[in-house]
């Protein structure tokens, strides 16, 4: 795993939605490269370190196996069709719960929040997901305050974002939160992301 006193891990699985993971990775990777003095690193990880294939065919060899990953400060959980079987995988859900206990900040992109909900981690909290899965999120746990018209929801130790490209907005928000708004603006300039800048 790359060097850095503070670590961001992005969990990958078969049929993850590519931009859900690669968008935040680009933001965090640009941050780490642009400002190494901030002391952060980012890496991808998968069960057993296995190569994974995204929803649209992108093949990725993660940096590290989940089992070998060092302690994380942030865990990013992307979405995609591959989340559907994980909703009923109790072994996986127990791992997600264990990460909640060990990782200060959990962040999801798109339908990654469905997995957090299935693990019981969004009970009574505000959250969002891809527009086509908002009702599914509500059905998994009726106590969730489903936010339907936002790019992301920051609820302290848990941040959820809407579909696909919204993960970029969320990641820039996290750079601002974890470091500074000025740094987030620098990163946004580095990656030339200018639709409606979140910071």
In a domain, 196, yes or no: no
User: Which residue range is the domain that position 53 belongs to?
Assistant: 6-190
Query: Global pTM?
Result: 0.95
Which are the catalytic amino acids? 110
Give the confidence band of 194 by pLDDT, cuts at 50, 70, 90: confident
- Residue 85 confidence (pLDDT) above 80: yes
User: Which is nearest to 63 in space by CA: 98, 196, 72, 88?
Assistant: 72
| The predicted structure's pLDDT at residue 195 | 77
Q: How many C-beta neighbours within 10 Å does residue 181 have?
A: 13
In a domain, 197, yes or no: no
Please report how many Cα atoms fall inside a 13 Å half-sphere around the Cα of residue 172, on the Cβ side: 23
State the average pLDDT over residues 55-59: 98
Strand partners, 106: 75, 158
The total number of structural domains that make up the chain: 1
Interval 70-80: pLDDT, tens: 999 999 999 99
What rounded mean pLDDT belongs to the chain?
96
In a domain, 82, yes or no: yes
- Residue 138 confidence (pLDDT) above 60: yes
Q: How many C-beta neighbours within 10 Å does residue 5 have?
A: 9
- For residue 146, the domain's CATH number is 3.40.50.880
Report the alpha-carbon distance of residue 39 to residue 63 in Å, rounded. Answer: 18
Q: Please check whether residue 35 is in contact with residue 186, taking contact to mean a CB–CB distance below 8 angstroms.
A: yes
In a domain, 199, yes or no: no
Interval 154-165: pLDDT, tens: 999 999 999 999
| The predicted structure's pLDDT at residue 2 | 58
% of the chain exceeding 70 in pLDDT: 96
- Residue 34 confidence (pLDDT) above 80: yes
- Residue 181 confidence (pLDDT) above 90: yes
Q: Please check whether residue 33 is in contact with residue 25, taking contact to mean a CB–CB distance below 8 angstroms.
A: no
| The predicted structure's pLDDT at residue 38 | 97
DSSP state of 103: -
In a domain, 195, yes or no: no
């Amino acid at each position: 795993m790359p060097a850095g006193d503070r670590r961001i891990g992005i969990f990958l699985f078969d049929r993850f939605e590519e931009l859900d993971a690669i968008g935040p990775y680009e933001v965090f990777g640009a941050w780490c490269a642009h400002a190494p003095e901030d002391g952060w690193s980012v890496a991808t990880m998968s069960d057993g370190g296995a190569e994974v294939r995204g929803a649209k065919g992108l093949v990725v060899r993660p940096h590290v196996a989940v089992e070998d990953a060092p302690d994380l400060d942030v865990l990013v959980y992307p979405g995609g069709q591959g989340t559907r079987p994980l909703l009923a995988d109790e072994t996986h859900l127990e791992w997600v719960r264990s990460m909640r206990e060990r990782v200060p900040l959990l962040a999801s992109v798109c339908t990654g929040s469905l997995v957090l909900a299935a693990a019981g981690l969004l009970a009574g909290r505000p959250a969002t997901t891809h527009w086509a899965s908002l009702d599914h999120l509500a059905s998994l746990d009726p106590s969730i305050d489903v936010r339907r018209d936002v790019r992301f929801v920051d609820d302290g130790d848990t941040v959820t974002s809407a579909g696909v490209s919204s993960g970029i907005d969320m990641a820039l928000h996290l750079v601002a939160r974890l470091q500074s708004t000025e740094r987030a603006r620098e990163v946004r300039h580095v990656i030339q992301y200018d639709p409606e800048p979140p910071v």
